[in-house]
């Protein structure tokens, strides 16, 4: 069922993992998809796959930690398809793993820039376009670590808590203007971000999820697609975990 038919959707960090799964699902549901990533080869590969499956997509390279690049990205999406109905601010990095007192200034600045400031930058320009249209849906990719802590991940945890707060605040501001804004909080998901982990570390992560396994990118994408659609027309300012019971422990 193509319940996003003819919608224009932008997904950042769409070259791999969760972002890729979201972009591909959007296309399957009938949306025209703007695939954005800092990795051009990965992004173009996603576009090629979407087109091979009969979908409509275009790639726009962007470093979302740069405000000017975010402005150009949204302008490029509108130039390509004429509007912007859906935006998923998904791009992110794990960042430096260290105790709070030992974390480098550069490490802190980078993870905040990519995981939090980028969401503000993108939203700033997405909202401007959606206000012109009188409608829109934004989904910001937070994390379970937008609700709880995790040792050696101070920068990431702070950024993801910030994403949740920013989402809630903006949702209040724009609810009466036809724009819905929500956040999704995945637990540990089988994505390339975990590829460098040894088996013991990965098994430790599995043990933190009562469901007994890590999540899959498509499981996150299904929730994001629902939040992006008219099926979720009364949902805004909310945080939705996709976590296999992680936060219920």
* Rounded mean pLDDT, 16-35: 98
* Rounded mean pLDDT, 229-246: 98
Q: Residue 6: its pLDDT value, please? A: 93
pLDDT tens-digit readout, 187-221 = 999 987 777 788 898 999 999 999 999 999 999 99
List active site positions.
Answer: 156
Q: Residue 197: its pLDDT value, please? A: 82
Q: Residue 85: its pLDDT value, please? A: 98
Q: Residue 57: its pLDDT value, please? A: 98
Q: What is the mean pLDDT of the chain?
A: 97
Q: Is the pLDDT of residue 181 over 80?
A: yes
* Rounded mean pLDDT, 89-106: 97
**CATH no., domain 8-244:** 3.40.50.720
Q: Residue 152: its pLDDT value, please? A: 96
Q: Residue 192: its pLDDT value, please? A: 78
Q: Is the pLDDT of residue 106 over 90?
A: yes
Q: Where along the chain do its domains lie?
A: 8-244
DSSP state letters, the chain:
--TTTT-EEEETTTTSHHHHHHHHHHHHTT-EEEEEES-HHHHHHHHHHHHHTT-EEEEEE--TTSHHHHHHHHHHHHHHHS---EEEE--------B-GGG--HHHHHHHHIIIIIHHHHHHHHHHHHHHHHT-EEEEEE--GGGTS--TTBHHHHHHHHHHHHHHHHHHHHHGGGTEEEEEEEE-SEESGGGTTS-HHHHHHHHHTSTTSS-EEHHHHHHHHHHHHSGGGTT--S-EEEESTTGGG-
Q: Residue 215: its pLDDT value, please? A: 97
Angle (nearest 5°) at CA 189 between 185 and 195: 140
* Rounded mean pLDDT, 19-43: 98
* Rounded mean pLDDT, 43-53: 98
Q: Residue 195: its pLDDT value, please? A: 79
pLDDT tens-digit readout, 140-179 = 999 999 999 999 999 999 999 999 999 999 999 999 999 9
Q: Residue 55: its pLDDT value, please? A: 98
**Residue 127 to residues 35, 38, 227, Cα–Cα distance (Å):** 18, 22, 17
Q: Residue 198: its pLDDT value, please? A: 86
């Amino acid at each position: 069922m193509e319940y996003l038919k003819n919608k224009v959707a932008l997904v950042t960090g769409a070259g791999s993992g969760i972002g890729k799964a979201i972009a591909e699902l959007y296309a399957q549901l009938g949306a025209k998809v703007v695939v954005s990533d800092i990795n051009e080869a990965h992004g173009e590969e996603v576009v090629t796959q979407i087109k091979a499956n009969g979908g409509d997509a275009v790639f726009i390279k962007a470093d979302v930690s740069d405000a000017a690049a975010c402005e150009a990205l949204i302008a490029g999406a509108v130039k390509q398809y004429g509007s912007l109905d859906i935006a998923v601010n998904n791009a992110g990095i794990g960042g430096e793993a260290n105790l709070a007192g030992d974390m480098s200034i550069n490490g802190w600045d980078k993870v905040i820039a990519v995981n939090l400031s980028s969401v503000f930058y993108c939203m700033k320009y997405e909202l401007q376009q959606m206000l012109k249209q009188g409608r829109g849906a934004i989904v910001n990719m937070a994390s379970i670590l937008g609700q709880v802590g995790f040792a050696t991940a101070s920068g990431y945890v702070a950024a993801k808590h910030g994403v949740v707060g920013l989402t809630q605040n903006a949702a209040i501001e724009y609810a009466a203007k036809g724009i819905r804004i929500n956040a999704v909080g995945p637990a540990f998901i089988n994505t390339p971000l975990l590829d460098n982990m040894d088996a013991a570390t990965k098994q430790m992560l599995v043990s933190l999820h009562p469901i007994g396994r890590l999540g899959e990118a498509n499981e996150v994408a299904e929730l994001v697609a629902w939040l992006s659609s008219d099926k979720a027309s009364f949902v805004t300012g909310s945080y939705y975990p996709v976590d296999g019971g992680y936060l219920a422990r």
